[in-house]
Structure 1
Amino acid sequence: MNDFLVHGHRLRHLLLTAVVLFLLASCHGCAPQQSERVRLGLNWKAEPEFGGFYAAQVKGLYQAHGLDVQIIEGAANAPVLPMVAAGQLDFGIATGLEVLAARQRGADIVALFSVYQKSPNCLMVRASSSIRSIAELMRSGYDVAVGPGQLYVEYLQRKYHPVNVRWVPYLGGVSGLLGNPRLAQQCFVGSEPELARARGVPTRVFVVADEGVDNISALLVTRGQLLRENQELVRRMLAAIGLGWRDYLADPAPTHALIARLNPAMSLSILDTMLREQRPFMLGDATGFERLGRLEPAMWERLQGHMLDFGSLDKPIDLRSAYREYP
């Protein structure tokens, strides 16, 4: 996208945000006078993958929609879905695999908004490695550090059978890669690779979705009971978040200033690079924001097919109850 189009998108969405804020502030009967408290639980630390949620806070969009939103940072294996299901969180962040697995166990979890249109899950090795593809990695004898429940592990083992790697637990960050030149690890596009580069170790990154398996990453979810009993709250939350993401992608600087304070490991330059590399995964093949947040049947049908094939699901579930199409 050339500079003229980028600045045009930025100007239009900044003007849209300003108009919405003005109308909501001047319309005494349009929004509740008492802000409704909401808890949003993340499944990782503050990073650009959550930028739009923070932007809605920075720009006062939650408040403009009558919401007092507390954003709670997570960590590796944070129990976000159980907390949403139990009502300890009103909204949370999860993957599509986690949503379908939770519904199979009887948890009434519903997805509302997808940060990514293509999963940014990747595997990375040191740039000094001779490995040039996932196919080569699967025959390399390397240790491969991944977290629990990664759908692509079974997929890659089948696709490249017999594999010659040792799957080891991923403990977060990039310390394992820095300490072991024959280790590959899971990562997000533009995230851990930038952290490793900042520590003096450039990497080579392989996008797992390009292998033919694509989880749905970074979903905003809620419990079905809240969706049924307080649709107005959900509507306002989605409206604020939608504006937040548009505002963030048009002008990320104010939000990056907040994220850098919340997550000191992230410099402003790293955050800018992370967003630049993740942006195509957020918007898909669209030239504007028309695919932002979209949840479509094909995404879920493909994911369920993989989960059934790999034994992550015992039987098909009713996908129509697992998500609500956005917008």
Structure 2
Amino acid sequence: MRKYLKSEFRSVPYFILLLIIAGIVIYVLGAKKEKKIQENDENDLFSLTLGTDWFAQAEHGGFYQAVAAGIYKKYGLNVKIKMGGPQVNGLQLLLADEVQFYMPNSYMMISAAKQKLPLISVAAIFQKDIQVLLAHPHVGNDTMESLKNKPIFISAPTTASIWGFLVGRFGYSDSQKRSYSHSLTPFLQDKNSVQEGLLTSEPYLIEKKYGFKPVTLLLSDYGFSGYGELMTTTLKFEREHPEEVGKFIQASIEGWRNYLENPVLGNDLIKKANPNMTDDLLKFAHNKLISEKILTGEDTNQFGIGAMTDKRWSEFMNMLIKYQVFDENVDYKSIYTLKYLNK
């Protein structure tokens, strides 16, 4: 009897071991099945890539939110986000079909129209361009007019985007331009100098690191009335995939609404893509997007986020013609469509 009990008790660990092994096998098989299901689901989605104009940041928050919250998948899309950077030419990537969407501003798109590039903007996420010029406080550089003849640190992409407007509107000259290599040091060393920047980042960085609030001049407050973050694709892609273009627009707009209300999911994905991004900067940028009504305004009150109108495009083009940036022969109407919007 005692021998039987001993044998019985010795068999218990083996039984438990068998249960553990069986559990592991079931788990592995289940994981493989789940992975296969996920792969099949991915294969059922329409894949496309969005190219951004810089490293991951709050200015792209709605797109990251749409990925993180599964909004794109809900619309039947598998969307990848390809980060931009100082050496990345997003329009070239778009034309080469390495990305299917990019986010230029109105000025860049009218330049594309002049060059007859086969591109088309299908929605305007930013109702205002967030480009700013920054100056030192207490030196008299408090208006756009006062910056004439002052040294301005400006990059080649920004020059292509806004310089013609500044020359035509305020009489700036090419002799003012200084090469900007994404370092604040030259600007900080010369209190009479001016620095390009974005409303949502450089003002925060300067105050945080150097202890003073720069004069921040938002170009849209001075007549630069174009859109920013234009959702733009090629004519070929838009003509071949109108249904998917419409879904991408609506999913992105939903992602942006979601992000403005609660940015946690999008911000987590942004920080994963760009480890240099901080919570404080994301919070600052998110607040600016809301307080300055970058995504909202008169047209969005009627038509919602992403709205574009013929009137706004016409006004912007007429402003550029007035200041002799472009001539009236540019077919600006060829580079945007309203058919996906304002329903």
Bin for the TM-score computed over the shorter chain:
0.7 to 0.9
Pair 1:145-2:153 in alignment: yes
Q: Is the 8 A contact 1:173 1:192 kept in 2?
A: no
Structure number, greater radius of gyration: 2
What is the distance in 1 between the residues matched to 2:47 and 2:329?
36
RMSD (CA atoms): 2.7
Aligned residue in 1 for 2:97: 87
Following superposition of structure 1 onto structure 2, how do residues 1-327 of structure 1 map, counting pairs within 5 Å? 34-76=44-86, 78-127=88-137, 129-138=139-148, 141-148=149-156, 149-150=159-160, 152-161=162-171, 166-172=176-182, 174-202=184-212, 203-279=214-290, 280-285=293-298, 290-325=303-338, 326-327=341-342
Deviation at residue 257 of structure 1 after TM alignment: 2.3
Query: Greater helix percent: which structure?
Result: 2
| In structure 1, C-alpha distance between the alignment counterparts of 2:175 and 2:144, rounded to whole Å | 11
Q: What is the CA deviation profile of residues 182-240 of structure 1, one whole-angstrom value per residue up to 9, with x for unaligned ones?
A: 32111111211112222124311011122222232211100111111111111221121
Unaligned runs of 5+ in 1: 1-30
For residues 208 and 51 of structure 1, the distance between their equivalents in structure 2, rounded to whole angstroms, comes to 22
Alpha-carbon distance in structure 1 between the residues aligned to 2:217 and 2:76: 42
Counterpart AA for 1:293:
G
Q: CA deviation at 1:301?
A: 1.2
Change (3 A) 1:286 1:227: closer
Report what 1:18 is aligned to. none
Q: Alpha carbons of 1:192 and 1:265: their partners in 2 closer, same or farther (altered >3 Å)?
A: farther
**In 2: Cα distance, 1:292 partner to 1:222 partner:** 18
Identify which range, 170-179 or 272-281, moves more after superposition.
170-179
**Is residue 151–residue 307 contact of structure 1 (8 Å, CA) maintained in 2?**
no
Task: Give the alignment's TM-score, normalised by structure 1.
Answer: 0.81
- CA displacement at 1:144 relative to structure 2: 0.6
Compare 210-219 and 63-72 and name the one that shifted more.
Answer: 210-219
Q: Given that residues 164 and 325 in structure 2 are in contact (C-alpha distance below 8 angstroms), is that contact kept between their aligned partners in structure 1?
A: no
Aligned length: 295
Is the CA contact 1:147–1:170 (under 8 Å) kept in the aligned structure 2?
yes
Q: 2 CA distance for matches of 1:84 and 1:164?
A: 30
| SS of residue in 2 equivalent to 1:205 | strand
Q: CA deviation at 1:40?
A: 0.8
TM-score after normalising by structure 2 = 0.77
CA displacement at 1:310 relative to structure 2: 4.7
